[in-house]
Amino acid sequence: MTRIVKHTATGPLEVKPSDQSTWICMCGLSKNYPFCDGGHKLARQQETDGKVYVYENDTAREIEDPGNCPSV
């Protein structure tokens, strides 16, 4: 089953369970999900606030009508 998941964060979540931080992906672009791998840098570079995007092969494509999202 394919799911489209909406993530609005453009950076990771820091979790401090001990002396060393663990970073949890909040943008959905990490290839090491749920852990951050820096994929959020794509969101910061390619996205504009208030718009909806689909990512394919590390490239953002703006969705003109978010109510009619394409299959990914």
Question: Comparing C-alpha atoms, which of 58, 61, 6, 1 is closest to residue 30?
Answer: 58
Give the pLDDT score at 2. 42
Distance CA 14, CA 10 (A): 13
pTM of the shown model: 0.59
Q: Is the pLDDT of residue 39 over 70?
A: yes
Longest dimension (CA), the chain: 45
Do the Cβ atoms of 24 and 16 come closer than 8 Å? no
The fraction of the chain above a pLDDT of 70, given in percent, is 83
Domain ranges, ordered by start, for the chain = 13-66
- What mean pLDDT is predicted for residues 52-67? 77
Do the Cβ atoms of 3 and 69 come closer than 8 Å? no
